[in-house]
Chain A
Amino acid sequence: MTQRATLVSAMNAMTNIGTDTQTIVAADAPKMKTESLSIYYSAFRAVADVTLPVRDRQITAIIGPSGCGKSTLLRALNRMNDLVAGSHIQGKVTLDGEDIYAPNMDVVDIRRRIGMVFQRPNPFPKTIYDNVAFGPRLYGRIPKTELDEIVESSLRRAALWDEVKDKLKQSGLALSGGQQQRLCIARAVAAEPEVILMDEPCSALDPVATLKIEELMQELKKDYAIVIVTHNMQQAARVSDYTAMMMMRSDRAGEMIELDQTQKIFTRPGDKRTEDYVSGRFG
């Protein structure tokens, strides 16, 4: 669905007010959940006590001023923080009820099931084809025809196929910034994830490329749970279903102060600090 179509469907839904809120409330158990999650870098507590459900086939946005722990929280969702020496967590992160920090969990498999798209597009210095085929190849030998199909369908899902189908053998680095970001999304999608994490995926892109990614997110949420960290509040308001608001406490640990349906956060937030932040009074 295009962004424009989202607006149109929202306008249509206005004739039907009341029903959609009920559906959202009645949604199933969350796809992922953090439970009283604290994240430490050595002795420093960067994130404190966050309980955040991530619903399947919905977009959850995490907003808040710089330094409030948004990215740290996002990275804990697929154990990217493991790569930082001295980092550890307290509490729980579950995927389909399973603790992803349990000792028997395969970290590589977790990162396949929970993919990540970064702030700056970071394609490998390889061909477009090889970028997308990279993940599937890691999981064993796949016949060429099958791999071709995966590459095509992933690029289609990332809304990039039409633009690159004739130059699959060219370097991914030759693409524009927006195309590179969609290539990274295709690369994440090719690994058949269940959740896609996005860390300010549009902050390095121009408005048109940004809009394309936002449209793409609406398509992707039909199949995946998406969590996005964004500094751009209008973006959170435009694309997400739920918004989590984070703030830094006086001990500099980030905490989640409010989580609600996005429409509520941007029209009648419950917490005064959220109100001040979304109306540009600080941050």
Chain B
Amino acid sequence: MAVASSNVRAALDRDLNTIRDNILRLGSLVNEQLQLSVKALRERDLKLAHQVVSTDERINQLRYKIEEECLTTIARQQPAAGDLRQIITAMHMSVEMERMADHAVGIATIVIRMGEEPLLKPLIDIPRMQAITSEMLDQALDAFVKMDVEMARAVVVRDDEVDALYNQVLRELLTYMAEDKRVVPRAMYLLWVAHNLERTADRVTNLCERVIFAAIGELGDYKPPKPA
């Protein structure tokens, strides 16, 4: 019975649209940061790494802008039920995504610290971790816009792929370090990068849990059923 009857909700709908648009803007900025940080690592591009670090300020600003919009909408429109859940979700998502951007900055900072030092090993799993995480983020944002619970749940399941790759990277780097102590610093650089990516994917699952809350009011960790 979605009766688009009158203008009663016009202002609220406008506010909700603005918040949604800004969440998408923030999401695509964060995703770009993530991709650029790993590109900077792959191509050993220090200039690009510095660019990632300096772009972070824009992301922080946008996050506060979204919070301000949510606050104002709550105060002025007094939303309830699904509208209220969406706004609370947007606030959580903006915080989560701002932290995800901090992980991208973390990776860029490592690239800067590595300087000209050669990579310990060719990059295979780390770019793959980033690619999956970026895809997950896109899908989480899509699920948010569509309020699609099934899509959000499917994204949570993909976190296992990133975790598996992280464990693989960890094992491999431990082997390097155990064989030759001198490579420890260079191995640690890569481990930190992988760790940042693993944490980012975890935060994408938090986004999805928030989308589930917004859509159906279920609050809490989503535990995907274990495959038989």
Contact = CB atoms under 8 A, between A and B. Distances in A.
A266 B2 CA distance: 17
B82 A282 contact: no
Nearest to A275: B81
The size class of the interface chain A forms with chain B is: 10 to 19
Interface in B11-52: 12
Interface string A211-248: 00000000000000000000001100100000000000
Nearest to A247: B1
B1 A267 contact: no
B202 interface: no
B217 A268 contact: yes
Interface of A is mostly: helix
A43 to B, nearest CB: 28
B124 interface: no
B74 to A, nearest CB: 12
A279 B1 contact: no
B127 to A, nearest CB: 41
Contacts of A281: 1-5, 9
B5 A267 contact: no
The size class of the interface chain B forms with chain A is: 10 to 19
A132 to B, nearest CB: 36
Name the residue among B79, B82, B85 with the largest chain A CB count within 10 angstroms: B82
Given A280-B9, A280-B12, A267 B85 contact: yes
A266 B81 contact: yes
Contact of B1 (A266, A269, A276, A278): A276
B101 to A, nearest CB: 29
Contacts of B1: 272-273, 276, 281-282
B54 to A, nearest CB: 39
Interface of A: 233-234, 237, 266-269, 272-276, 278-282
The 7 closest A-B pairs by CB, nearest first: A268-B217, A278-B80, A282-B3, A266-B80, A275-B81, A279-B83, A280-B9
28 contacts: A233-B80, A237-B80, A266-B80, A266-B81, A267-B80, A267-B217, A268-B81, A268-B217, A269-B81, A272-B1, A273-B1, A274-B81, A275-B82, A276-B1, A276-B3, A278-B80, A279-B12, A279-B80, A279-B81, A280-B8, A280-B9, A280-B12, A281-B2, A281-B4, A281-B9, A282-B1, A282-B3, A282-B5
Given A266-B81, A267-B85, 14 more contacts: A233-B80, A266-B84, A268-B81, A269-B81, A272-B1, A273-B1, A276-B2, A278-B81, A281-B1, A281-B2, A281-B4, A281-B9, A282-B3, A282-B5
